[in-house]
């Protein structure tokens, strides 16, 4: 590192040395030194790519989608104070989903008092808080620090990268004063440090769980977040086959965690306690948070929790009993379990007979293939009705999806139909973007598209979710960055989940009797398709079932031309007159 290097250049070089390839950004005036450094000839060759997205929530979503789709560590630059606050919803989701990223905001520590460099009057009046932005975001990240000396700037960036990638992975935050970015560095940074590998469960713990799984007569596996690692999915397949055990997706499966066309795939645990779990004598939670509800509903069966953070340390209450705990890299743990299950005293034929008997037992009682066929039959029947349904749209989309398509979801009410009927999606081709807060779907889809620019990316989104997204900023980023998306807008003119809460908790109440569900309608209906046209894209409104397939075809054709596409799908309204 040159003795004439500025803090901004040192920051960029430190990120690059730690393997960061992307900086997603929606910055303000606090980052002028960074932009100056990025304009230097060396930066185009040696600095991470700088990707501006016009809004902090879009930037966080892009970093999240990119990290999910690649497994790589991104950096994120946001405006001080207000930008940090905008980012906190997405950072909280990243914290719970264990998505690593190094997040930075600027601040001023000298407020232009001589001999400090010049700074605008906004710093003293509107952009300053006690503790700075590090204090504002500390509850939504795993580590937050306000840089207090330029001497340790590169050291701090190195450490931030390591902390983000250490178990449990997640977002970390550094507040970087503008004055330090402008300074000439006075010290060499430490040698480049390595990113940490995830820990591995002990041999003793693996052996104990393997013995319990082998002895179980009716083992069941539940998973929700395993699909972020494709190698772990492969190992789960090996383990399930070695056990003859069915695999259930949890209620909020965020990925394709197990091949949906595999004979041992048992569907989604949508009931409070799935019938397979009622009969199980051993349940393996493989990167699963909530496979049933409430947690105390499961009785009798032994439970093993496996994953990077199997006890979910960021939650105030989890409540699921864990008789065995396997913390660490899920892929390594599953590989070890698959190699260890089985009775060493059995002959190969005896083991094969035992597994076949177990498969027949669960297949005889729980025909997921038959249920899936029934779902398809009902979906096709919906295509003959007068109005659109989510099931029909999902059925048609499943027929048309290109083999290399990736789907990002931010629907709530329609999620069940999509997850169950889109069975062509392979591991690595589905990402959920609604972890606790809506508004991240467009950004997440853009991040996935940035990671895989050659693959078609589809976003399914409800009209309620759509309003929470910074649509103008995200569509502008689609156009500017040449990241076309196909946006399928499911419009039921309201908030179905909000209405469901009222019906569930007050089934004989005034709202139900009077058919007056306050605050649950979105009316009047705007012409959403025009929004795509405003950004050089294609838009179409669909109201009849027979028009769904042509509209989807038009959307994919627009993608092939490099255009943003929005298909507005008008469903039965939440509140009928």
Tell me, yes or no, whether 171 and 213 share the same domain.
Answer: no
What is the distance between the terminal CA atoms of the chain, rounded to a whole angstrom? 69
Select the highest-mean-pLDDT range: 253-262, 340-349, 489-498, 531-540.
531-540
C-alpha dist (Å) from residue 477 to 20, 37, 62, 346, 455:
21, 23, 10, 60, 18
Question: Buried (b) or exposed (e) across 18-32, using 16+ Cβ within 10 A?
Answer: bebebbbbbbbebbb
Residue linked to tokens 């990268």:
161
Burial classification of residue 252, based on how many CB atoms lie within 10 Å of its CB (0-12 exposed, 13-18 middle, 19 or more buried): middle
Residue 195 lies in a domain: no
SS3 at position 470: coil
CB-based burial label for 508 (10 Å; 0-12, 13-18, 19+): exposed
Query: 173 and 294, same structural domain?
Result: no
Percent of the chain scoring above 70 in pLDDT = 98
Q: How confident is the model at residue 440 (pLDDT cuts 50, 70, 90)?
A: very high
Q: Does 197 fall in a domain?
A: no
Q: What is the pLDDT of residues 265-306, one digit of tens each?
A: 998 887 778 888 998 999 999 999 988 989 999 988 999 999
Residue 1 has pLDDT above 60, yes or no: no
How many Cα neighbours within 13 Å face the side chain of 292? Answer: 23
Q: What is the pLDDT of residue 374?
A: 86
Looking at the fold, whether 151 and 175 belong to one and the same domain comes out as: yes
Task: Decide if 393 is inside a domain.
Answer: yes
CA–CA separation, 45 and 42 (whole Å) = 6
Is 269 found in the same domain as 157? no
Backbone φ and ψ of 434, nearest 5° = -125, 65
155 vs 536: CA distance, rounded Å: 44
Indicate if 210 and 174 belong to the same structural domain. no
pLDDT exceeds 90 at position 345: no
Query: Do 308 and 442 fall within a single domain?
Result: no
Closest CA to 554 of 477, 564, 544, 545: 564
In a domain, 431, yes or no: yes
Select from 366, 383, 398 the last residue of a domain.
Answer: 366
- The answer as to whether 170 is a domain residue is yes
Q: Kindly indicate the confidence band of residue 121, based on its pLDDT and cuts at 50, 70 and 90.
A: confident
Q: Is the pLDDT of residue 212 over 90?
A: yes
Domain contains 398: yes
How confident is the model at residue 2, as a pLDDT? Answer: 54
Which segment of 63-67, 325-329, 414-418, 488-492 scores lowest on mean pLDDT?
Answer: 414-418
Helix (H, G, I), strand (E, B) or coil at 172: strand
Q: Is residue 577 part of a domain?
A: no
Phi, psi of 549 (to 5 degrees): -60, -45
Assess whether pLDDT exceeds 80 at residue 346: no
pLDDT value, residue 3: 55
Domain endpoint, select from 366, 391, 407: 366
> How high is the mean pLDDT of the chain?
92
In a domain, 187, yes or no: no
- Tell me the per-residue pLDDT of 356-392, one tens digit each, with 9 for 90 and over: 777 776 766 666 777 788 888 888 998 888 899 999 9
> Does the structure show a pLDDT above 70 at 199?
yes
Contact yes or no for 67/98 (Cβ under 8 A): no
- Number of domains within the chain: 3
User: Which of 338, 366, 394 lies at the terminal end of a domain, its last residue?
Assistant: 366
Are both 388 and 334 inside the same structural domain? Answer: no
Q: What is the pLDDT of residue 102?
A: 98
List alpha helices for 401-538, DSSP H: 415-421, 441-451, 463-468, 471-481, 496-505, 510-514, 529-534
Residue 221 in this model has a pLDDT that exceeds 80: yes
CATH of the domain at 259: 3.40.50.1220
Q: What is the CATH number of the domain that holds 443?
A: 3.40.50.970
pLDDT at 393 (0 to 100): 96
Pair 69, 132 in one domain: yes
pLDDT of residue 275: 86
Give me the residues paired with residue 491 across strands: 570
214: left (phi over 0), alpha (psi -120 to 50) or beta: alpha
Q: 101 lies in which domain range? A: 7-182
Single out the residue of 512, 404, 418, 403 nearest to residue 465, CA to CA: 418
The pLDDT value recorded for residue 365 is: 65
Task: Find how far residue 332's CA is from the centre of its chain.
Answer: 22
570 touches 542 (CB < 8 A)? yes
Pair (218, 286) in one structural domain: yes
pLDDT for res 73: 98
Q: Note the pTM of the prediction, 2 decimals.
A: 0.94
Residues 89 and 213 in one domain: no
Cβ-based neighbour number of residue 183 at 10 Å: 18
Shared-domain flag, residues 176 and 322: no
Same structural domain, 556 and 458: yes
Give the pLDDT confidence of 61-88 residue by residue, as tens digits. Answer: 999 999 999 999 999 999 999 999 999 9
């Amino acid at each position: 590192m040159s003795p004439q290097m500025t803090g901004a250049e040192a920051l960029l070089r430190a990120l690059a040395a730690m393997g960061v390839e992307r900086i997603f950004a929606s910055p303000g005036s606090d980052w002028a030194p960074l932009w100056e450094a990025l304009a230097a000839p060396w930066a185009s060759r040696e600095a991470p790519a700088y990707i501006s997205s016009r809004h902090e929530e879009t930037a966080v979503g892009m970093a999240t989608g990119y990290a999910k789709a690649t497994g790589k560590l991104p950096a994120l630059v946001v405006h001080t104070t207000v930008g940090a606050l905008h980012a906190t919803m997405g950072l909280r989701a990243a914290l719970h989903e264990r998505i690593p990223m190094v997040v930075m905001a600027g601040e001023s520590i000298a407020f232009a008092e001589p001999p400090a460099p010049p700074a605008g009057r906004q710093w003293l009046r509107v952009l300053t808080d006690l503790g700075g932005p590090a204090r504002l975001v500390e509850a939504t990240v795993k580590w937050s620090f306000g840089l207090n000396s330029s001497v340790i700037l590169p050291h701090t960036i190195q450490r931030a990268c390591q902390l983000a990638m250490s178990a449990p992975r997640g977002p970390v935050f550094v507040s970087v004063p503008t004055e330090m970015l402008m300074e000439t560095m006075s010290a060499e940074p430490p040698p480049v440090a390595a990113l940490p590998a995830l820990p591995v469960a002990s041999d003793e713990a693996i052996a104990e769980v393997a013995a319990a799984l082998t002895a179980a007569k009716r083992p069941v596996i539940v998973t929700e977040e395993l699909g972020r690692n494709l190698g772990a999915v492969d190992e789960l397949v090996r383990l399930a086959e070695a056990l003859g055990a069915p695999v259930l997706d949890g209620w909020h499966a965020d990925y394709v965690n197990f091949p949906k066309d595999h004979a041992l795939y048992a569907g989604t645990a949508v009931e409070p306690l799935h019938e397979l779990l009622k009969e199980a004598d051993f349940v393996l939670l493989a990167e699963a948070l909530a496979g049933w509800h409430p947690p105390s509903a499961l009785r009798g069966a032994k439970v093993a929790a496996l994953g990077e953070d199997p006890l979910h340390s960021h939650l105030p209450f989890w409540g699921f009993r864990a008789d065995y705990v396997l913390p660490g890299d899920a892929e390594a743990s599953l590989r070890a379990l698959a190699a260890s299950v089985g009775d060493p005293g059995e002959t190969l034929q005896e083991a094969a007979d035992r597994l076949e008997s177990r498969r027949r037992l669960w297949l005889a009682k729980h025909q997921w293939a038959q249920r899936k066929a029934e779902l398809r039959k009902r979906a096709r029947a919906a295509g003959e009705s007068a109005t659109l349904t989510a099931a029909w749209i999902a059925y048609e989309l499943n027929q048309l999806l290109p083999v290399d398509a990736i789907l990002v979801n931010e629907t709530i009410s329609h999620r069940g139909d999509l997850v169950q009927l889109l069975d062509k999606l392979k591991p690595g081709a589905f990402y959920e973007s609604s972890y606790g807060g809506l508004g991240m779907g467009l950004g997440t889809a853009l991040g996935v598209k940035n990671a895989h620019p050659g693959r078609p990316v589809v976003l399914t989104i409800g009209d309620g979710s759509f309003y929470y997204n910074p649509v103008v900023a995200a569509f502008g980023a689609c156009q500017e960055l040449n990241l076309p998306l196909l946006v399928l807008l499911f419009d039921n003119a309201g908030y179905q989940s909000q209405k469901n809460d009222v019906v569930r908790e007050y089934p004989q109440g005034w709202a139900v009797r009077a058919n007056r569900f306050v605050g649950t309608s979105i009316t009047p209906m705007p012409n959403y398709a025009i929004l795509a046209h405003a950004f050089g894209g294609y838009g179409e409104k669909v109201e009849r079932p027979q028009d769904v397939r042509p509209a989807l075809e038009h959307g994919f054709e627009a993608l092939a031309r490099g255009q943003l596409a929005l298909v507005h799908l008008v469903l039965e309204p939440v509140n009928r007159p």
